[in-house]
Structure 1
Amino acid sequence: MTASRTLESLLRAAPDGAVALGAAGAPPLSFGRLRALAKETVATLNRVGVGRGDRVAIALQNGPEMAAAFLSIVQGATAVPLNPAYTLDEFELYLKDLEVGALVVAAGEASPALEAAKRLGVRVLTLTPCGGGAGDFIITGGAAAAGAAGKGSVGPEDIALILHTSGTTSRPKIVPLTQRNVAASAENIARTLDFSQSDRGLNIMPLFHVHGIVAGLLAPLSRGGSVFCSTGYNPVKFYGWMEEAKPTWYTAVPTMHQGILSFAAQNREVIARHPLRFIRSSSASLPVRVIEALEAAFQAPVIESYGMTEAAHQMASNPLHGPRKPGSVGQAAGPEVEIIDEAGRIAPAGVAGEIVIRGENVMAGYENNAAANAESFVNGWFRTGDQGVKDVDGYFRLTGRLKEIINRGGEKISPQEVDAALMDHPAVEQAVAFAVPNEKLGEDVAAAVVLQAGKSVSEQELKAFLAERLAPFKVPRQIVFVDDIPRGPTGKLQRAGLAQRLGLAAA
């Protein structure tokens, strides 16, 4: 299947009467109504002078309206989904940086995005739920623009979606993804997971992030499946949503899976009533014991995958029907994926290096950032910045971000390896290793640990445990116990700045 089409054509798979979106306490929204809503929304945008090539920021809370708004706007303009929790300064930065032409906000919501739009002269459009089904809405606001209706239909090479990178850089890079990029990735995921019209997803991922947009929303809809739109990750509410949604699958990042698992024993009957076909995990490695516990609790396979914003999400995945290798991110699942050495040559199986990708779902380049593009592309391959190794069967294992590799006096340490060893201890719930400054060695290893409820272990006991599993130079010099580890807005553990945040000075 080729992704030489737009997202509008991607969503033609289901009959008009099939359910597209669901939500707690709301009647379902059909594919027919979703398609009509998209046409109405694009017509409204055109009337106020917004259309093909124009950028529309969406600052809505997670839920069916956010899903329906994105699916509608992206069919006639460029969607810019923003985290609704941003501060005024952040909204102002992103609206200006992305040259946004219009902002969509919920009616009656006092979002700081409104003040940012006012300062920048960005037109504001108001979204009001209209009760026609989960996510159904009307958009109002903005003065009519003469002759604005003839903006034309979006094409495969038009920019569908603009996102910012997350990471350690002081200024996030702008990632423009074309209709072709996003459609290709959605199709890759749908093929990997064998989606059909009988699938119902329970989405808990944020819809301002590529994981939620492409894997949680577009991939199942492209095969005529339905999506139950939650208000976002909440392990306490998860099983209530599961009862109402009756899902066949869900996707999340590792920290979310761990939170959901912690309530599984109390909800065995809910799980038994609504068996899952599979559970998908992406973003970071899922500890093997967590995989085993999830599979035991849900009686469903856990499919580990690998994605990033610049690839419109999915790059590799363990197969649904085939051998899964716990702790690996699987095989190439859409784009070509390889390992290169420091000289830029393709490395043989078993040799660690940088993971590179190329394919229909990969962006052409960062926007207005020639320096980043020069660094990020080599011989037609996009450099992911991830270190990994490929085995003889073509399965990839991530060993860390190249920028996060700890250089302890010339000895290179992958913090993910230390994470995994810590997670093997039965008292450890979560762990994250990171670099701390060291006057003699440059950097040394430290780790922050969250213990499981009711369990205890000392720092010395943990170090002794690690000494049996890691080379001496990899054992953290310091282990601190915390109630929670900082996470980004999409649930990723945050290594950057942890030493300063936890007050660990140079030694």
Structure 2
Amino acid sequence: MPTTIASLIADHADDSPAIGAPGRSWLTYGQLRSLTDDVSQALAAMGIGRGDRVAIVLDNGPEMACAFITIAQAATTAPLNPAYREEEYAFYLEDLQAKALVVAEDYGGPALAAAETSGAMIVRLASDADGPAGVFRLSRPAVDGAKAAGNPDENDVALILHTSGTTSRPKIVPLTQSNIHASANNIRSSLALTPEDRCLNVMPLFHIHGLIAAVASSLAAGACISCAPGFNALRFYAQLKEVAPSWYTAVPTMHQAVLARAARNREIIDSAGLRFIRSSSASLPAPVMEELAATFGAPVIEAYGMTEATHQMCSNPLPPRAQKPGSVGLAAGPDVQIAAETENSLLEPSATGEIVISGPNVTPGYEGNQDANAASFFMADDKRWFRTGDQGSFDEEGYLRLTGRLKEIINRGGEKISPLEVDAILLSHPDIAQAVCFAVPHPKLGEDISAAIVLAEGSELDEKTVRTFAAERLADFKVPRSVVILEEIPKGATGKIQRIGLAEKLGLGRT
């Protein structure tokens, strides 16, 4: 069978639930396959088919999940953040050379003006709130140039995303049908997913984490997934009670928000029966991992992923094997090695260096960017390796520990500081709910370290006490020179904290 998205959903029972949402009835696998055929025919009638790029701007929920899965079986999908401004949409639609833009039937936002400027066809998606979750129909004014519906093969691009770089133009990452097929099955295998599993998705579905780790892996297993309308810490426990999932996946800041409301939702937690909790997209501080596991009585599976790997690279294993706090686990799909940071050579696993990967889930390369491809890919041991930009090393049992993004490692007058290490120390204080350390400019040292923290409810901790706590546990050069106490730490669109640029956002740049 070909390694395509279509093959992920081909063999599951017609009447098995596939996609749902809180307060909605389930869409079955038979209905999902039928919807796929309808979408393919509708797009073909609009002149859209294999190789054509379709941008999608939809709110989180089952329609977004179904739009991705079905359109990707007929054309190339490009999900975009619904919170973008017109200028951002204009950039992405032009950069993608999108042939069409799919928006909700009642959408009147800034993507429309950007589509008209770029010449992208505007396609409306109409859903039925009373019908099964995710069912929709596509429409647009009559067009000439219909084409026959065709099935993409495993080498066709199914999904295009942009990197979230903060210091340069975002790079286009094409992911093929076989990339998605491989990664979905890697995650299914790592988590031992079966048709009995049910995922509660709170991740944004314009991001690789939600699309692959939650949606595609569940469908690969014949399991079902309930798609919430985004993450809302105030609604999470009600959704947990209603959906009764066997697992959910989120980023660390979401897990921290869940923990902050755990005490008042003890009854729901006790009856939840989660098989496991998954975390990815940013390093999960060890104290948070331990508190999550203790609160829910379930193993916390931290995984390591990135867009260029179609998400997952490593994962902590399920019991009876150990979940190691502070580690992103074992290689889980691709081959994962340590490489020299300045040479195209592999190092011993115990060495500290740049993490590199090779495997069928790895993108074929950045689109239209020869310089980035030359810097990011190299050949060694007859394999093509991708440089992740992360630094780390393996322990004696094969568990990978990250020491940070190479660009985020703080160079304080020649002394290198891993911000992840300092984060973990600060988070071990019971009065600190969130912490993120980052580089700030220094006139003599080049860089120094600062920290932004959010205090636990009711805490009156001050900057001096925080620095004293850190100084008792860290070498002097690692102690944050300033501590900013915030109500909320600024985050990116997916809930990840971005260290690069945080000093400027907080007014700590060079004066």
Q: TM-score, normalised by structure 1?
A: 0.97
Deviation by residue 1:125-162 (Cα, 9 ceiling, x = unmatched): 1001134300111111043334x332521100000000
Number of corresponding residues: 504
Q: Is structure 2 residue 443 aligned with structure 1 residue 439?
A: yes
Contact persistence 1:200–1:226 (CA under 8 A): yes
* 1:420 paired residue among 420, 424, 442: 424
Contact persistence 2:287–2:424 (CA under 8 A): no
Q: Which runs of 5+ in 1 are unaligned?
A: none
What is the rounded CA distance, in whole Å, between the counterparts of 1:356 and 1:295 in structure 2?
A: 30
AA aligned opposite 1:496: I
Residue of structure 1 equivalent to 2:272: 274
> SS at the partner of 2:161?
strand
Residue of structure 2 equivalent to 1:133: 132
The Cα of 1:264 is off from its aligned counterpart by 1.5
Contact persistence 1:339–1:389 (CA under 8 A): yes
Residue of structure 2 equivalent to 1:176: 174
The Cα of 1:505 is off from its aligned counterpart by 4.3
* 1:454 paired residue among 458, 479, 483: 458
* 2:101 paired residue among 97, 103, 108: 103
* 2:26 paired residue among 25, 28, 40: 28
AA aligned opposite 1:227: I
> SS at the partner of 2:407?
helix
> SS at the partner of 2:25?
coil
What is the rounded CA distance, in whole Å, between the counterparts of 2:46 and 2:217 in structure 1?
A: 31
Residue of structure 1 equivalent to 2:360: 360
Contact persistence 1:123–1:142 (CA under 8 A): no
The Cα of 1:110 is off from its aligned counterpart by 1.3
Residue of structure 1 equivalent to 2:295: 297
Of residues 228-237 and 454-463 in structure 1, the stretch that sits farther from structure 2 once superposed is 454-463
What is the rounded CA distance, in whole Å, between the counterparts of 2:144 and 2:199 in structure 1?
A: 40
What is the rounded CA distance, in whole Å, between the counterparts of 2:218 and 2:199 in structure 1?
A: 7
5 Å-filtered alignment, 1:55-454, equals 55-130=53-128, 131-146=130-145, 148-321=146-319, 322-342=321-341, 343-379=343-379, 380-454=384-458
What is the rounded CA distance, in whole Å, between the counterparts of 1:441 and 1:13 in structure 2?
A: 60
What is the rounded CA distance, in whole Å, between the counterparts of 1:448 and 1:271 in structure 2?
A: 30
What is the rounded CA distance, in whole Å, between the counterparts of 2:170 and 2:181 in structure 1?
A: 24
Contact persistence 2:40–2:149 (CA under 8 A): no
Contact persistence 1:43–1:149 (CA under 8 A): no
What is the rounded CA distance, in whole Å, between the counterparts of 1:184 and 1:505 in structure 2?
A: 43
> SS at the partner of 1:454?
coil
Contact persistence 1:21–1:28 (CA under 8 A): yes
Contact persistence 1:303–1:324 (CA under 8 A): yes
What is the rounded CA distance, in whole Å, between the counterparts of 1:442 and 1:328 in structure 2?
A: 30
What is the rounded CA distance, in whole Å, between the counterparts of 2:315 and 2:374 in structure 1?
A: 28
Deviation by residue 1:78-109 (Cα, 9 ceiling, x = unmatched): 01001011100001110000000001000112
What is the rounded CA distance, in whole Å, between the counterparts of 2:154 and 2:470 in structure 1?
A: 51
Percent identity reads 55
Deviation by residue 1:284-331 (Cα, 9 ceiling, x = unmatched): 221222112111211110001000000000000011131221110001
* 2:42 paired residue among 41, 44, 53: 44
Contact persistence 2:441–2:447 (CA under 8 A): yes
The Cα of 1:427 is off from its aligned counterpart by 1.0
Contact persistence 2:337–2:349 (CA under 8 A): no
The Cα of 1:362 is off from its aligned counterpart by 0.2
Of residues 316-325 and 90-99 in structure 1, the stretch that sits farther from structure 2 once superposed is 316-325
Contact persistence 1:12–1:222 (CA under 8 A): no
Q: TM-score, normalised by structure 2?
A: 0.96
Deviation by residue 1:49-86 (Cα, 9 ceiling, x = unmatched): 00000000110000011111111101100010010111
Deviation by residue 1:232-274 (Cα, 9 ceiling, x = unmatched): 1111101111121110000001000010111112112212222
* 1:496 paired residue among 476, 489, 500: 500
Deviant stretches of 4+, over 3 Å: none
Contact persistence 2:334–2:359 (CA under 8 A): yes
Calculate the aligned-residue CA RMSD, in Å. 1.3
Contact persistence 1:58–1:82 (CA under 8 A): yes
> SS at the partner of 2:101?
strand
> SS at the partner of 1:403?
coil
Contact persistence 1:13–1:222 (CA under 8 A): no
Q: Which runs of 5+ in 2 are unaligned?
A: none
Contact persistence 2:200–2:240 (CA under 8 A): yes
The Cα of 1:456 is off from its aligned counterpart by 2.2
What is the rounded CA distance, in whole Å, between the counterparts of 2:105 and 2:506 in structure 1?
A: 40
Of residues 208-217 and 117-126 in structure 1, the stretch that sits farther from structure 2 once superposed is 117-126
Contact persistence 1:22–1:245 (CA under 8 A): no
What is the rounded CA distance, in whole Å, between the counterparts of 2:225 and 2:509 in structure 1?
A: 47
Deviation by residue 1:368-424 (Cα, 9 ceiling, x = unmatched): 000000100122210000011111111101111001111111111111111111111
Contact persistence 2:352–2:393 (CA under 8 A): yes
The Cα of 1:33 is off from its aligned counterpart by 0.7
The Cα of 1:4 is off from its aligned counterpart by 4.8
What is the rounded CA distance, in whole Å, between the counterparts of 1:55 and 1:506 in structure 2?
A: 43
> SS at the partner of 1:365?
coil
Contact persistence 1:405–1:413 (CA under 8 A): yes
Residue of structure 2 equivalent to 1:18: 16
Deviation by residue 1:467-498 (Cα, 9 ceiling, x = unmatched): 12211111111111111111111111121222
